[in-house]
Amino acid sequence: MDNYNQLVERISSASGVSKEEIDRKVEAKRAKLSGLVSKEGAAQIVAAELGINFEKERMKISELVVGMKKANVVGKVISVSPVRSYSKNGKEGKVANLVIADEASNIKTVLWDTNHISLIENEKIKEGTVIEVSNGQIRNGELHLGSFSDVKISSEKIENVKSDKVFSATKIKDAKVGQGLKTRGVIVQIYEPRYFEVCPECGKKVLDGECKVHGAVQPKRRALMNIVIDDGTDSLRAVLFGEQIYLLGLNEEEVFNVDKFLEKKLDILGEEMIFSGSIRSNALYNTNEFNIEKVEKVDVNALLKELEGK
């Protein structure tokens, strides 16, 4: 079930109004606003009009939708990335990323407040810790915690968490920024790989043989590739990095040798595969982009069984 349907079900349960009626109200609200608001956003407006305030309710991770500004959730930390320092507009700061999960889903959580980050630095928050989050903001499919948010260590037990990333099976025409997308599509365009260098120690980008963390290093060469996929409802530009590129049917020589790549390119065009990843907004080109994280061959037998069941 996708986020919109989960939200409608939650509104229906809290208000006693049927899901069909809520869906009609959502479409009417979108029409009144000339389609300038997403279905999820319109659903939140409808919820408020029905007297339902999600800002005071704890939600499951799977129920969080883009645009929520005061999300409350409890989750177990399943991964923690190193705290990073940054400099922007003359200001220095820190940022920390972790992933929290519950029984149904998981979400990348970004901490910007130094008090929250210190909990990681002091190892009060680490893998296996259950945390309670208040007033989080959902942006691009991530849970962001700023100075107005609150993070507490919880005594609750969460055992069987969903550690694999969750992708919604949907169509490209319905995909939204911040959503995890899983779709079966045909590769209709493939572009020459672009290359960059990374640090062999931390994997960060290397410029002129220098890593910001490890200094002078012998960098490793990496590739990224852009393709365009079409699932019959729309087409979408997508990007693949590293090992994901090989899943298209390319070997290392074909990735890093342009002549070999051009020979192989025609074999890949027209291939149908299942792609999973996240939809991001590309500010440079002012368009949406599909960041592919998983590529699978189409299982014809599984598709036949699926069609037989319909």
- Residue 1: predicted pLDDT: 42
Task: Return d(Cα 239, Cα 254) in angstroms, integer.
Answer: 17
Q: Within this chain, do residues 172 and 72 fall inside the same structural domain, yes or no?
A: no
Size (the chain), residues: 310
Q: Which of 100, 135, 164 is the last residue of a domain?
A: 164
Q: Within this chain, do residues 142 and 239 fall inside the same structural domain, yes or no?
A: no
Q: Within this chain, do residues 151 and 130 fall inside the same structural domain, yes or no?
A: yes
For the whole prediction, is pTM greater than 0.85?
no
Q: Within this chain, do residues 37 and 90 fall inside the same structural domain, yes or no?
A: no
Residue owning tokens 């409890």: 74
Q: Within this chain, do residues 21 and 61 fall inside the same structural domain, yes or no?
A: no
Opening angle at CA 196, ends 202 and 249, nearest 5 = 100
228: tokens are: 């365009």
Opening angle at CA 88, ends 82 and 92, nearest 5 = 60
- Asked if 69 and 139 touch (Cβ cutoff 8 Å), the reply is no
Q: Within this chain, do residues 152 and 172 fall inside the same structural domain, yes or no?
A: no
Where do the H-state alpha helices sit in the chain? Answer: 3-15, 19-32, 39-49, 114-121, 243-246, 252-256, 258-268, 300-308
- Asked if 172 and 288 touch (Cβ cutoff 8 Å), the reply is no
The one-digit pLDDT tens for each residue of the chain (310 residues) are 456 787 888 888 888 999 999 999 999 988 888 766 777 778 878 888 888 777 677 888 887 877 678 889 999 999 999 898 887 777 888 999 999 999 888 999 999 999 999 999 999 999 999 999 999 998 877 899 999 999 999 999 998 888 877 777 678 887 777 777 889 999 999 999 999 998 888 878 888 888 888 889 899 999 999 999 999 999 999 999 988 899 999 999 999 999 999 999 999 999 999 999 888 877 777 788 899 989 998 877 766 666 666 5
Count of other CB atoms within 10 angstroms of residue 82: 9
Q: Within this chain, do residues 155 and 172 fall inside the same structural domain, yes or no?
A: no
- Residue 80: predicted pLDDT: 93
b vs e for 265-301, b when ≥16 Cβ sit within 10 Å of the residue's Cβ? beebeebebbbbbbbbeeeeeeeebbebeebeeeeee
Nearest residue to 70 (alpha-carbon basis) of 166, 23, 135, 165: 135
Q: Within this chain, do residues 185 and 294 fall inside the same structural domain, yes or no?
A: yes
Q: Within this chain, do residues 43 and 129 fall inside the same structural domain, yes or no?
A: no
- Asked if 198 and 204 touch (Cβ cutoff 8 Å), the reply is yes
- The CATH number of whichever domain residue 111 belongs to comes to 2.40.50.140
Q: Within this chain, do residues 110 and 200 fall inside the same structural domain, yes or no?
A: no
- Asked if 88 and 95 touch (Cβ cutoff 8 Å), the reply is no
Q: Which of 105, 133, 164 is the last residue of a domain?
A: 164
Q: Within this chain, do residues 16 and 111 fall inside the same structural domain, yes or no?
A: no
Q: Within this chain, do residues 74 and 46 fall inside the same structural domain, yes or no?
A: no
Residue range(s) defining the domain that contains residue 256:
168-308
Q: Which of 110, 145, 164 is the last residue of a domain?
A: 164
Q: Phi/psi class of residue 257: alpha, beta or left (left: φ > 0; alpha: ψ in -120 to 50)? A: beta
Helix (H), strand (E) counts: the chain = 8, 16
28: tokens are: 């009417």
Task: Return d(Cα 82, Cα 47) in angstroms, integer.
Answer: 38
Domain tally, the chain: 3
250: tokens are: 């390319």
